[in-house]
Amino acid sequence: MSGNELDFHAPGPGVWEFDRAHQLRPATRLGAEILSPTIAEGMRSCFERYGLPLSHFDAVFVHGWCYLTPRVFGAPESAGGPPPAIVLKALTRLVPKMRRRWRSALDAEREQRWLTDAATWEAERSWWIDRNLEFQDVDLAAASDAELAAHVEQVVRHAEHGMRRHFELLGPAVGVGLLLDAADRWGLVPRDVLDLLDGHSPASGQTPTLGRLADALAEAGVRPATLDGVRAASPEAADALDAHLRLHGWWTTTDDIDGQPLSASPTIVLRSILAALDRRAEPGQVHAHQDVRSRVPATDRSRFDELLAGARRCYATLDDNSGLTASWPYGLVGRALREAADRLCRRGLADAGEAVWTMSGDEVVSLILGAAGPTSAELAERVDDRRHAASVMPPSHLGGTPSPPPDPSVFPGAAARVTAAFMQFLGAKFGEPGAVTAVGAEPARGRAVVALDAADALERLEPGDVLVTTFTTPAYNAILPIAAAVVTTTGGPLCHTAVVARELGLPAVVGMADAVDRIPDGALVEVDPVSVRVSVLPGP
């Protein structure tokens, strides 16, 4: 079914691009309500502090599918794209508010604001853990209707705060981009430089809690077959399992609030524990730091050391915050809405378990309290509409064809350097069109599990399988350790998949656009990161 079976029109001025890297099905209504304003608010705050020429991105959902458009600072929204370079160059030097913007870039560069933001996150991350646990510890089943309604409102505000903060914390991307930009000038291969970040994003593999579990099981000499077996291994193993589930059990397994939480998949929790136990005895990777450094001009090696240290710190911040500010709060919103759906179902609202994902936050609260809200017939129609939208392939663009961004060199001084660094990061995060990137040094073989969402992957992936999917999120962190390799259709060398693969020593190929269509589910495949190939092998 094609997108023209639904009316897809640009939701406003500008050219809008479908966000295929973060969405596999139409969004929940409340999920869209949370994301649309917070992405713009968070980016606007971040980009202003860094003096970027981009103001923010607007996000609008069309039939549940997310479309994004960039908004240039100081330009009217009706503009079809950035003005010609010569005009832009003149405007950036003559318009007073532009000059003030560039002073912000100069201040950001002078203060190394990306490192300040990384330090700020390191100081505040414990607050996010405590706040998430505060909501998680509420006994929803024992709550009155009024208490549940209040909880829904509070946890939605918490998720909004989290998403806004997540986008405010894009600033450390500049620290990683500066290293990539300098590496490009020195003639270094980006992959070699990014491999030096290996081991500096421990949140990617949930290693603190899984590491404790693996250590406790190794000490007890037990390889459990069930989670009950983990608990029975030793008091230390039981405590470590409780800590792991407490800190990760309610993370959503998708990029929306309706994703199943990790705690709903005890089998995959066990498999990730066993994978951590197996990795415990593996030797650490020998980094090629000195080899890469030797290829930097001698006069620039101290600068290389400085940029690498900063990039490592920023790299950890970028990956670490997404789970605590997004995946966990979204999972808590989903937890509250499932309790609401159970109550509405007991009151006679048929299919409330599915209909609740089509409701706004205000509607959920109203129905919990017995006030006016959408009727069963209205909700049934919404559910049908969402199912239909899920069967449609959304157009890649609305409102025209996007024009390329201006070259950073049109901006003055620090603004040019900060912008170039940010663009380097984005290119590495999302990948260049048609570019395929690999992580790892050894090929791996296994059964292909072609999964279009984390819930499917969580259900079917066995140790030693090769996960083939469109993209991964922090919700996959618990399952990736058991895979032999991973292949995605989207992403670049700094996408989530690549980051986690480096941390786990996992072969990965990302940005292989035809992988899901070309690789049969269940086939024997070989993933070779050296030749950047994924081959379907003859069966036994």
Residue-level pLDDT, tens digit, the chain, 540 residues: 344 478 999 999 999 999 887 888 899 999 999 999 999 999 999 999 999 999 999 999 999 999 999 998 877 776 556 666 666 666 666 677 888 899 999 999 999 999 999 999 999 999 999 999 999 999 999 999 999 999 999 999 999 999 999 999 999 999 999 999 999 999 998 888 888 887 666 555 556 788 899 999 999 999 999 999 999 999 999 999 999 999 999 998 888 999 888 888 888 788 888 878 877 655 444 456 788 999 999 999 999 999 999 999 999 898 889 889 999 999 999 999 999 999 999 998 868 889 999 999 999 999 999 999 999 999 999 999 999 999 998 999 999 988 888 889 888 899 999 999 999 999 999 888 788 999 998 999 999 999 987 778 878 888 899 999 988 877 677 778 889 999 999 999 999 899 888 888 899 999 999 999 999 999 999 999 999 999 999 976
List, for residues 4-58, the tens digit of each pLDDT value.
478 999 999 999 999 887 888 899 999 999 999 999 999 999 999 999 999 999 9
Q: How far apart are CA 520 and CA 35, in angstroms?
A: 34
Give the sign of the dihedral formed by CA 399, CA 402, CA 408, CA 410: negative
Structure tokens at 34: 């949370």
Q: How far apart are CA 147 and CA 474, in angstroms?
A: 30
Count other Cβ atoms within 10 Å, centred on residue 186.
16
Number of helices (H), then strands (E), belonging to the chain: the values are 21, 11
**pLDDT the model gives residue 284:** 46
- The pTM of the full predicted model, rounded to 2 decimals, is 0.90
**pLDDT the model gives residue 265:** 81
Count other Cβ atoms within 10 Å, centred on residue 219.
12
Q: Which residue has the tokens 């099981």?
A: 217
Does domain 437-536 fall into CATH 3.50.30.10?
Answer: yes
**pLDDT the model gives residue 155:** 99
C-alpha neighbours within 13 Å on the C-beta side of residue 484? 19
Indicate the burial class of 342 (C-beta count within 10 angstroms; 0-12, 13-18, 19 or more): middle
The H or E element spanning position 67 is strand 65-72
List, for residues 153-171, the tens digit of each pLDDT value.
999 999 999 999 999 999 9
Residue extents of the structural domains in the chain: 3-174+320-427, 204-308, 437-536
Going by C-alpha positions, the residue among 262, 242, 267 that lies closest to residue 252 is 262
Q: What secondary structure does DSSP assign to 188-231, as a single string?
A: --HHHHHHTTTTS-GGGGTHHHHHHHHHHHHHHT---SSHHHHH
